[in-house]
Homo-oligomer: A and B are copies of this chain.
Amino acid sequence: MDIKQYVSDKAKKAKAASRALANCSTEIKNNALFKMAAGLEKESGMLIAENKKDLVAAGQKGLSKAMIDRLTLDADRIKAMADGLREVAALPDPVGEVTRMWRRPNGMQIGKMRVPIGLIGIIYESRPNVTADSAALCLKSGNGVLLRGGSEAVHSNTAIANILSGAGAEAGIPEGAVSFIENPDRACVMEMLKLNGVVDLIIPRGGEGLIRMVSENSTIPVIKHDKGVCHVYVDCKADAAMAGEICFNAKVQRPGTCNAMETMLVHKDLGASFLPAMLDRFMKAGVEIRGCAKTKTFVPAVKAATDKDWDTEYNDLVLNVKVVDSMDDAMEHIALHGSQHSEAIVTDDYAKALRFQREVDASAVFVNASTRLNDGFEFGLGAEIGISTTRIHARGPMGLEELTSTKFIVFGNGQIRK
């Protein structure tokens, strides 16, 4: 098989379809999403059978238990995937919204209209539900999508993609608008990344290795969904009970996520009053603590943090703790070690709250709330394709609006350039 030709043909067909899709009505797109949801539920048995093939191969390859769990499809997960499609159907269509319109001295009326980006390439790993989620978000926002899942889920993904494109065709979605690259050869990814002028945007969803590989090799714009080294700073003016709840939630509620806290920064005045009880609570919940020298003076039992620890995303029940002299020290630590993902302060001090929020650089800056709330659903944006850590186009939770671009629309009556 000529990989270059195969990928390029798929992409060009998807691009042509994306042009027609850009002008599809909301009704057609929603109808397609409902048919896709129904199709997934109807073919539940077939999907589980195809998934089984991936699971057997995963067992033979010796994939970790956590990875096998992520890979597994059952009736409940298929139902959840279908419900996800229906939720996207229920969201407002972003395409065609005119976000602003104004008049110029020469009488021209100018507006900015949301339009689809074009053809979006999604490169992802492991979880087969990403196939359905990504396709739904791209479809609703009027974008063609070229999906490329991990080889470990190829049977599951192919089966899901076939159901989606079949249901889409029935609903009148242009053929190829939802395309999937079934060939598991890694060379396909490299070809995708070079299709300038055909693929308009690449979104990698997966581990650090995948994201680095994509950024380094793509000649197409990439929006990354990268790691988070997130902090909560507990100020001397914090409500101790609130700080306790927020820090515990930020670390323990789901430690494997990018918006979980990796380092707790505590003002030195709270070293005796707050720190021992807080660390005790963490340790009882199974959290391993790695502290700075000052932390050890207050709670001698903790392990000493190494230089590398302050820059590490554990994705696990491990927490760095640092005692700081002031909010400025905390902000300095965040600037040096943070990943500009999710940062929080707990304080009752009005001026400090506003200053922290203004000066700290992150996709979301929280006052008196948990970093775990940095999420499209929690923010009220609806379903999200991830939390962007790229600094242009979209930063933070990336939903339907962030999957659009804009064009200027100009209504004149004979204006020319002087």
Chain A interface (Cβ < 8 Å from any Cβ of B):
19, 22-23, 96, 102, 104, 108, 110, 115, 117-118, 196, 200-201, 215-216, 219, 221-223, 239, 242, 245-246, 249-250, 253-254, 335, 353, 357-359, 361-370, 372-375, 378-380, 390-393, 395-397, 405-417
Please report the C-alpha to C-alpha distance between residue A19 and residue B196 in the assembled complex, in whole angstroms.
Answer: 33
Please tell me which one of the listed residues B117, B215, B364 contacts residue A410 in the complex, with CB atoms under 8 A apart: B364
A314 to chain B, nearest CB (A): 18
Please tell me which one of the listed residues B223, B370, B409, B417 contacts residue A415 in the complex, with CB atoms under 8 A apart: B370
A364 proximity list for chain B (CB < 8 A): 407-410
Cβ-defined contact, A242 with B414, below 8 A: yes
Cβ-defined contact, A245 with B410, below 8 A: no
Q: Is the interface of A mostly helix, strand, loop or mixed?
A: mixed
Cβ-defined contact, A23 with B358, below 8 A: yes
Other A-B contacts than A96-B358, A117-B391, A223-B392, 5 sampled, CB-CB below 8 A, are: A196-B215, A200-B391, A216-B219, A253-B417, A365-B407
A416 proximity list for chain B (CB < 8 A): 245-246, 249-250, 253, 369-370, 372-373
Question: What 3 A-B pairs have minimum CB-CB distances, sorted nearest first?
Answer: A369-B412, A372-B417, A249-B416
Please report the C-alpha to C-alpha distance between residue A393 and residue B406 in the assembled complex, in whole angstroms.
Answer: 9
A11 to chain B, nearest CB (A): 15
- A416 closest partner in B (C-beta): B249
Cβ-defined contact, A407 with B253, below 8 A: no
Cβ-defined contact, B412 with A368, below 8 A: yes
Count of identical protomers in the assembly: 2
Cβ-defined contact, B221 with A361, below 8 A: no
A216 proximity list for chain B (CB < 8 A): 219
A250 proximity list for chain B (CB < 8 A): 416
Cβ-defined contact, A200 with B392, below 8 A: yes
Please report the C-alpha to C-alpha distance between residue A223 and residue B215 in the assembled complex, in whole angstroms.
Answer: 15
Cβ-defined contact, A396 with B392, below 8 A: no
A373 proximity list for chain B (CB < 8 A): 108, 410, 412, 415-417
Please report the C-alpha to C-alpha distance between residue A335 and residue B16 in the assembled complex, in whole angstroms.
Answer: 10
Please tell me which one of the listed residues B363, B370, B380 contacts residue A104 in the complex, with CB atoms under 8 A apart: B380
A275 to chain B, nearest CB (A): 20
A407 to chain B, nearest CB (A): 6
A414 proximity list for chain B (CB < 8 A): 239, 242, 245-246, 368-369
A221 proximity list for chain B (CB < 8 A): 221-222, 390-392
Cβ-defined contact, B361 with A115, below 8 A: yes
Can you list 18 A-B pairs, Cβ within 8 angstroms, ordered by A? A22-B361, A117-B391, A117-B392, A200-B392, A201-B391, A215-B219, A221-B221, A221-B390, A223-B392, A242-B413, A250-B416, A254-B417, A363-B408, A364-B408, A370-B417, A373-B412, A392-B392, A396-B406
